[in-house]
C-alpha cells in the first residue's frame, strides 16, 4: 500500500509538471482526489484494516493528499498567470501607433441645395414640414383639383402601389395634408423626394427632389407671391438676380405662373446655361385654387393663399454647372466632393 501511495505521488507530480492547461491539471485532480479518485479509494478502503495499520497508512495517505493538493494549487496558479500573460500580450495596445485616418464624406449637392433653399424660407418665417413619399391618389391628385381624367394620372406616368396609393409625383400633396391639419395663418415649406415613370436621361430621373411652399392667410394676393419669390431668388442667386412671371397652368392654382430668374451665369446677356435667352425657369407657382382650400375646410371668402414648387436637382445643376442629372445619383465621391 505504501508503495502504491508513493506511486500515486510520483505520477501526480510528473503529470502536473507536464500539464499545459488548467484542464490538464483539473484532470489530474479528478483522477487522484475526485469522488472515485485513486487516493479517495485508498482512504475509503482503510476501514477494513486493523487499527494499527490504519493509523500508519492514514498518516501516509493524508501526507500524500496534502502534497498533491499543494502541487495542484501551485500548478493552477502557475497556469492561470501564464494564461493571463498570454492574454495581455495578445491584447497589447501600442499607444504610439499612428491613428487610422477615417475618410469623412461630404454633403451631397442636392442636400446642400435643399439646405440653402430652407435657410432662405426659414428667414422669411416659413416653417419646415414634411409628407410621406408613399401617398394616396386622393392627396396627390384629386384633392389638388386633378380629376380622374387628368393626363398626369396615367398609369405610364406614375408609380402606383395600388388603385388608391402611389409614389407621390410632386411635393404638392403636402399642401393638402397641411390644409387638413392646420388653420390659417399658414406659412410652410416642404422639401422631399418625388417619383415619376421617366426613362433616365441627362435631364430626367424617375426619382428627384422638390421643395413645395404654401401660404394661406387673410388678404394674401399675387403681390405677396411675387414679393416672396423675388426675394427668394435674390437671396438664393445674388442681389442682382431679376425675376419674371409667365402665365401657366396647374390644376391646383388659379391664376398659375412659372417664374424665371435672370441667368446667374451671364446676368441676362445670353449664354449656354440659359440657352441664349438670358432667363432660367426655376419654379411653378400660383394662387391656391378655391377647390384645394375647400378640401381643408377653409373659408374661401375669408382666406386666400399662394403656393409654389421647385425642382431641387434643376437648381443644383444650374448653380453648379452639372450637365447630367444622372451624375447626382452615382455616388461617386470624386464627383460629390467637388461641392463642399
Ligand atoms: N407640383 C408642380 C409640379 O410638380 C409644381 C408646382 C406648381 C407646385 C405650382 C406648386 C404650384 O405649389 O403652385 O410640376
Q: Residue 214's pLDDT is what?
A: 98
Query: Cα–chain-centroid distance for residue 179?
Result: 29
Classify burial at 58, counting beta carbons within 10 Å of its beta carbon; exposed 0-12, middle 13-18, buried 19 or more: middle
Tens place of pLDDT per residue across the chain (340 aa): 788 888 888 998 898 888 888 888 889 899 999 999 988 888 888 888 888 888 888 888 888 889 989 999 999 898 888 888 888 888 888 889 898 888 888 999 999 999 999 999 999 999 999 999 999 999 999 999 999 999 889 988 999 999 999 999 999 999 999 999 999 999 999 999 999 999 999 989 999 999 999 999 999 999 999 999 999 999 999 999 999 999 999 999 999 999 999 998 888 899 988 889 999 999 999 999 999 999 999 999 999 999 999 999 999 998 898 989 999 999 899 999 998 7
- 169 CA closest ligand 1 atom index: 4
Count Cβ atoms within 10 A of the Cβ of residue 92 and give its class: 0-12 exposed, 13-18 middle, 19 or more buried.
Answer: exposed
Q: From the centroid of its chain, how far is CA 249?
A: 38
Residues with CB under 6 A from ligand 1: 170, 172, 212, 250, 253, 284-286, 307-309
Cα separation of 45 and 268, whole Å? 113
Distance CA 234, CA 232 (A): 6
Could you tell me the distance, in angstroms and rounded to a whole number, from the CA of residue 284 to the centre of ligand 1? 5
Phi/psi of residue 267, each to 5°? 75, 5
Phi, psi for 75 (deg, rounded to 5):
-65, -45
Instruction: Determine which helix (DSSP H) or strand (DSSP E) holds 186, and give its type and residue range.
Output: strand 186-195
3-class DSSP state for residue 170? coil
Q: Which atom of ligand 1 is nearest to the CA of 286?
A: 13
pLDDT of amino acid 83: 86
CB-based contact 19:68 (threshold 8 Å) = no
Report the alpha-carbon distance of residue 328 to residue 322 in Å, rounded: 9
The pLDDT assigned to 288 comes to 98
Protein residue whose Cα sits closest to atom 12 of ligand 1: 308
Q: Where are the alpha helices (DSSP H) in 124-186?
A: 137-140, 173-181
- Pocket probe mutation, ligand 1, options 169, 252, 290, 313, max atoms within 8 Å of Cβ: 252
In this structure, are residues 145 and 251 in contact, taking their beta carbons and an 8 Å threshold?
yes
Is the preceding omega at residue 303 within 30 degrees of 0, hence cis? no
Nearest alpha carbon, ligand 1 atom 2: 309
Residue nearest to atom 4 of ligand 1 (CA): 170
Is the CB of residue 314 less than 8 Å from the CB of residue 230?
A: no
321 CA distance to ligand 1 middle (Å):
24
Compute the distance from residue 301 Cα to the ligand 1 centre, in Å: 23
pLDDT at residue 267 in the model: 87
Expressed in angstroms and rounded, the spacing between residue 222 Cα and the centre of ligand 1 is 16
CA of 340 to the centre of ligand 1 (A): 29
Which residue has its alpha carbon closest to ligand 1 atom 3?
A: 170
**In degrees, to the nearest 5, what angle opens at C-alpha 254 toward C-alphas 248 and 256?**
25
What distance in angstroms lies between residue 246's CA and the mean position of ligand 1's atoms? 14
If you measure from the C-alpha of residue 89 to the centroid of ligand 1, how many angstroms do you get, rounded to a whole number?
66
Atom of ligand 1 nearest to the CA of 212: 12
What is the value of pTM for the model shown? 0.73
Which residue of 228, 247, 308 sits with most ligand 1 atoms within 8 Å of its CB, as the best mutation to test the pocket? 308
Closest atom of ligand 1 to 194 CA is 4
pLDDT reported for residue 5: 86
Report, in angstroms and rounded to the nearest whole number, the Rg of the chain calculated over CA atoms. Answer: 41
Number of C-beta neighbours around residue 233 at 10 A: 22
At 4 the pLDDT is: 86
What SS3 class is residue 233?
Answer: helix
- β-partners of residue 188 are 127, 214
Ligand 1, atom 7, lies closest to the CA of 284
Which residue's entry shows cell 416672396? 228
Q: What is the CB neighbour count within 10 angstroms for residue 234?
A: 16
Q: Are 268 and 237 in contact (CB under 8 A)?
A: no
- Residue pair 197/158 in contact by the 8 Å Cβ criterion: yes
What is the per-residue pLDDT for 120? 98
Per the structure block, which three cell numbers stand in for 13?
Answer: 507530480
User: Looking at residue 162, what is its pLDDT?
Assistant: 96
Amino acid at each position: 500500500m505504501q508503495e502504491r501511495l508513493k506511486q500515486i505521488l510520483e505520477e501526480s507530480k510528473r503529470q502536473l509538471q507536464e500539464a499545459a492547461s488548467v484542464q490538464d491539471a483539473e484532470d489530474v485532480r479528478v483522477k487522484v482526489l475526485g469522488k472515485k479518485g485513486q487516493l479517495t479509494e485508498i482512504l475509503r478502503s482503510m476501514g477494513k484494516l486493523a487499527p494499527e495499520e490504519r493509523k500508519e497508512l492514514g498518516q501516509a495517505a493524508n501526507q500524500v493528499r496534502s502534497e498533491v493538493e499543494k502541487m495542484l494549487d501551485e500548478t493552477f496558479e502557475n497556469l492561470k498567470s501564464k494564461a493571463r500573460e498570454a492574454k495581455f500580450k495578445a491584447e497589447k495596445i501600442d499607444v504610439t501607433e499612428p491613428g487610422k485616418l477615417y475618410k469623412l464624406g461630404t454633403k451631397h449637392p442636392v442636400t446642400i441645395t435643399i439646405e440653402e433653399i430652407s435657410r432662405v424660407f426659414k428667414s422669411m418665417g416659413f416653417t419646415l414640414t414634411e409628407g410621406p413619399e408613399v401617398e394616396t391618389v386622393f392627396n396627390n391628385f384629386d384633392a389638388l383639383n386633378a380629376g380622374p381624367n387628368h393626363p398626369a394620372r396615367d398609369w405610364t406616368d406614375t408609380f402606383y402601389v395600388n388603385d388608391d396609393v402611389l409614389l407621390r409625383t410632386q411635393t404638392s400633396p403636402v399642401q393638402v395634408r397641411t390644409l387638413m391639419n392646420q388653420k390659417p395663418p399658414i406659412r410652410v415649406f416642404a422639401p422631399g423626394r418625388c417619383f415619376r415613370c421617366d426613362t433616365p436621361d441627362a435631364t430626367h430621373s424617375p426619382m428627384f427632389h422638390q421643395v413645395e411652399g404654401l401660404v394661406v392667410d387673410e388678404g394674401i394676393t399675387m403681390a405677396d407671391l411675387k414679393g416672396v419669390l423675388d426675394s427668394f431668388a435674390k437671396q438664393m442667386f445674388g442681389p442682382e438676380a431679376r425675376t419674371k412671371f409667365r402665365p401657366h397652368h396647374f390644376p391646383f392654382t388659379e391664376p398659375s405662373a412659372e417664374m424665371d430668374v435672370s441667368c446667374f451665369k451671364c446676368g441676362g446677356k445670353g449664354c449656354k446655361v440659359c440657352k441664349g435667352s438670358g432667363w432660367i425657369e426655376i419654379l411653378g407657382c400660383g394662387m391656391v385654387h378655391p377647390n384645394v382650400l375647400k378640401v381643408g375646410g377653409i373659408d374661401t371668402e375669408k382666406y386666400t393663399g399662394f403656393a409654389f414648387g421647385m425642382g431641387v436637382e434643376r437648381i443644383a445643376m444650374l448653380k453648379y454647372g452639372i450637365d447630367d442629372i444622372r451624375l447626382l445619383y452615382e455616388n461617386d465621391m470624386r464627383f460629390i466632393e467637388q461641392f463642399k
